[in-house]
């Protein structure tokens, strides 16, 4: 398949429909991070995705205390149509170790705003349980609060997450995993931003694309010849799974939605200094055509991404249209490619 991606940017209007911005944000060819890619989370995921199964809805920005008055905790929410997600936003906290008892969690510090980044969600790396081994939380190695074994070294002044699921908060009795293999019992990290493709459960959806399976098997047979005899069968049995196309949706949990139409009402609470902010998506559904030599085809158009940038009061929409074609071996024979956008 050949996909056309169209990205448009709109200005948000309180209690009104979005209006087209003077300039559209560029299509991102790759992920953009908040800083060093090794140590910060994804700010904007790359748009070069030919196929998604649902619409990613993502909010970049911060949660703000009601009325600008510092608070210790609050609920921030995002609703798109009849789908809602809520976040428990908490001020900075730490904990203290108690021998033979559950640790003590301090009262949250008052805050005016908290960034919606996965560094502020549950997760992190436990480097104190075993000095010889680092234990990253597979769902979010950049976050706060993940501990395997309870000890004074692991728990003293341990920073805890600022963003949590209101229905699944971190409590003193579940703060320590006990055994690293039981990490799945711990809370799912929460935010409204992009969820990294390197984290579980998204990472385990990756695999071999269908058209690449034959090549992968051919290369595997070649590589097997260089593996010691006693390990060769184990290597051949460890097959890479097929790609699960849910991998290409990167919205936070609960925010990859059945394809939106682009005219939905969006309601937010606590994501702007003024409190509630409501708007309607623009209700523009572009028509896209592609001619690769056999006449213009006008396939169905779907909405890949709704990226709301609250600080700029803008939203980026990425649309996709796709047509079948004979395959990469045929590309040298293609004599024309004409794209039309209406």
Within 10 angstroms of residue 280's Cβ, the number of other Cβ atoms is: 16
324 and 302 share a domain? yes
Sheet strands side by side (includes 163-164): 163-164, 83-90, 73-80, 265-272, 275-280
* pLDDT value at 210 more than 90: no
pLDDT of 93 reads 97
239 and 259 share a domain? no
- Minimal CA–CA distance to 125: which of 107, 150, 146, 110? 146
Residue 198 included in any domain: no
Single pTM value for the model: 0.93
pLDDT of 136 reads 97
- The pLDDT-based confidence of 182 (bands split at 50, 70, 90) is very high
186 and 68 share a domain? yes
* pLDDT value at 329 more than 90: no
Structural domain containing residue 75? 64-115+118-190
- C-alpha separations of 123 from 52, 142, 254 in Å: 27, 6, 19
Q: Which residues of 191-217 are buried (b: 16+ CB within 10 A; e: fewer)?
A: bbbbbbbebeebeebebbeeeeeeeee
Residue 156 included in any domain: yes
233-259: average pLDDT: 95
237 and 309 share a domain? no
256 and 329 share a domain? yes
For the chain, what is the domain count? 3
Residue 72 included in any domain: yes
**3-class secondary-structure state, position 315:** strand
Residue 196 included in any domain: no
pLDDT of 305 reads 98
- The pLDDT-based confidence of 119 (bands split at 50, 70, 90) is very high
211 and 235 share a domain? yes
125-139: average pLDDT: 96
pLDDT of 272 reads 97
Please give the Cα distance from 261 to 238 (Å, whole number).
41
31 and 13 share a domain? yes
Q: What is the pLDDT of residues 296-305, one digit of tens each?
A: 999 999 999 9
49 and 6 share a domain? yes
pLDDT of 298 reads 93
pLDDT of 162 reads 98
pLDDT of 152 reads 94
Residue 178 included in any domain: yes
pLDDT of 328 reads 85
Residue 305 included in any domain: yes
Residue 161 included in any domain: yes
Q: What percent of the chain has pLDDT over 90?
A: 93
Q: How many CA atoms lie within 13 A of 20 on its CB side?
A: 8
Decide: residue 219, CB within 10 A, 0-12 exposed, 13-18 middle, 19+ buried.
Answer: exposed
- The pLDDT-based confidence of 289 (bands split at 50, 70, 90) is very high
Contact residues for 336 (Cβ-Cβ < 8 A; gap 6+): 291, 292, 293
11 and 87 share a domain? no
- The pLDDT-based confidence of 185 (bands split at 50, 70, 90) is very high
pLDDT of 294 reads 87
106 and 5 share a domain? no
Please give the Cα distance from 85 to 249 (Å, whole number).
17
Q: Quote the tokens at residue 231.
A: 């390990």
> What stretches of 131-234 adopt beta strand conformation (E)?
133-136, 144-145, 158-159, 163-164
- The pLDDT-based confidence of 261 (bands split at 50, 70, 90) is very high
71 and 166 share a domain? yes
Q: What percent of the chain has pLDDT over 70?
A: 100
pLDDT of 211 reads 85
Q: Which residues of 49-63 are buried (b: 16+ CB within 10 A; e: fewer)?
A: beebebbbbbbbbbb
* pLDDT value at 101 more than 90: no
Residue 197 included in any domain: no
159 and 220 share a domain? no
| φ/ψ of residue 154, rounded to 5 | -75, -30
* pLDDT value at 327 more than 90: no
* pLDDT value at 102 more than 90: no
């Amino acid at each position: 398949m050949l996909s056309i991606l169209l990205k448009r940017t709109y200005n948000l209007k309180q209690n009104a429909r979005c209006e087209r911005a003077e300039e559209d944000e560029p299509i991102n060819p790759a992920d953009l991070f908040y800083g060093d890619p090794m140590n910060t989370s994804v700010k904007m995921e790359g748009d070069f995705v030919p196929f998604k199964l649902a619409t990613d809805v993502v909010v970049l920005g911060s949660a703000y205390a009601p009325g600008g008055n510092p608070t210790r905790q609050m609920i921030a929410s995002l609703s798109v149509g009849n789908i809602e997600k809520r976040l428990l936003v908490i001020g900075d906290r730490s904990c203290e170790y108690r021998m033979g008892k559950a640790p003590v969690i301090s009262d949250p510090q008052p805050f005016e705003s908290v960034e919606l980044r996965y560094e502020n969600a549950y997760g992190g790396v436990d480097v104190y349980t075993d000095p010889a081994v680092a234990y990253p939380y597979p769902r979010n190695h950049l976050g706060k609060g993940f501990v395997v074994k309870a000890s004074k070294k692991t728990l003293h002044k341990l920073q805890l997450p600022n963003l949590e699921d209101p229905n699944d908060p971190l409590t003193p009795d579940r703060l320590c995993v006990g055994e690293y293999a039981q990490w799945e019992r711990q809370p799912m990290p929460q935010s409204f931003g992009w969820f990294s493709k390197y984290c579980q459960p998204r990472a385990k959806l990756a695999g071999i694309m269908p058209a690449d399976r034959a090549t992968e098997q051919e290369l595997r047979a070649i590589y097997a010849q260089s593996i010691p005899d006693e390990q060769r069968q184990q290597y051949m049995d460890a097959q890479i799974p097929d790609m699960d196309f849910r991998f290409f949706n990167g919205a936070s949990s609960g925010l990859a939605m059945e394809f939106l139409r682009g005219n939905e009402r969006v309601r937010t609470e606590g994501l702007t200094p003024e409190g509630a902010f409501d708007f309607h998506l623009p209700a523009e559904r572009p028509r896209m055509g592609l001619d690769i030599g056999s006449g213009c085809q006008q396939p169905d158009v779907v909405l890949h991404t709704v990226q709301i940038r609250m600080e700029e009061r803008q939203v980026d929409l990425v649309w996709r249209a796709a047509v079948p074609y004979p395959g990469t071996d045929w590309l040298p024979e293609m004599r024309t490619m004409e794209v039309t956008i209406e």
